[in-house]
Amino acid sequence: MKKEMNLFLALLAAVVLVGSCAAEEGSKAPNTNASFDTGAQGHIFQGATNSQKLQTAVAKDVRNAQVSNASVRAASSEELGGMELTLQKYRTAFDSLSLSQMRQVWPGLDHRREVALKDVFKFLRASSSAPNLGLECAPPTVVGDSAKVACRETLGYRDARGKDRTAQPGVVSISLKRQSDKWVVETMKGLGNAD
């Protein structure tokens, strides 16, 4: 039982809570302590006052991409709605343990991340855990047809004894890309623990 729980937590830390992927080699995780408003159930994007450090993480990511400040802008309300819908679909795909739904939201999902997700989904099914993935995101920064957003990712689950548990939250940088009339996940990069 304890061995299974340790395996489960290790998988979560390696896959889910660092953006369903390993942090890019050579990148150092910034200090991402932040306070979050949990009163906005169902809404993924949080007010800027509650996500200062997430905004800083996105700004750093945009600067690292060497984009001119003139081309960086805030998302319109229409873009925000589309991005929130995409992130909700990502959450639903994870909670449903559905790799096919995940590929619809993240069409460029690479083999390494796909295998990691399969392993986590397999473990969750085998342990009869019902996951509840939470995302609380800072307002996105848009550059052309791409957007960067930093999110606090949490995972609630029920252990084998029926107790509700929450794994340690992590911070991820998510790159979204506009494809036709919708947004899709392009990449995710773990930025470390949120607490």
Task: Dump pLDDT digits (tens) for 53-97.
Answer: 555 555 555 555 555 555 888 888 899 999 999 999 999 999 999
Residue 189's nearest CA partner among 80, 26, 7, 8 is 26
State whether residue 42 is helix, strand or coil: coil
Helix (H) or strand (E) holding 32: none
CATH of the domain at 59: 3.10.450.50
Half-sphere exposure of residue 43: CA atoms within 13 angstroms, side-chain side: 11
Please state, in angstroms and rounded to a whole number, the distance separating the CA atoms of residues 54 and 132: 22
The number of folded domains in the chain is 1
Q: Does the predicted model carry a pTM greater than 0.85?
A: no
pLDDT tens-digit series, residues 120-157: 898 888 777 778 899 999 999 999 999 999 999 998 87
24-38, 68-82, 165-179 — which is least confidently predicted? 24-38
2-6, 66-70, 104-108, 130-134 — which is least confidently predicted? 2-6
Q: Which amino acid is at 89?
A: K
Exposure of 119 by Cβ count < 10 A (0-12 exposed, 13-18 middle, 19+ buried)?
A: middle
Task: Taking the CA atoms of 15, 17, 19 and 25 in sequence, report the sign of the dihedral they define.
Answer: negative
Q: Which domain does 89 fall in, by range?
A: 2-193
For residue 142, the model assigns a pLDDT of 94
- Is residue 3 scored above 70 in pLDDT? no
Backbone angles phi, psi at 137, to 5 degrees: -120, 150
Backbone angles phi, psi at 72, to 5 degrees: -90, 130
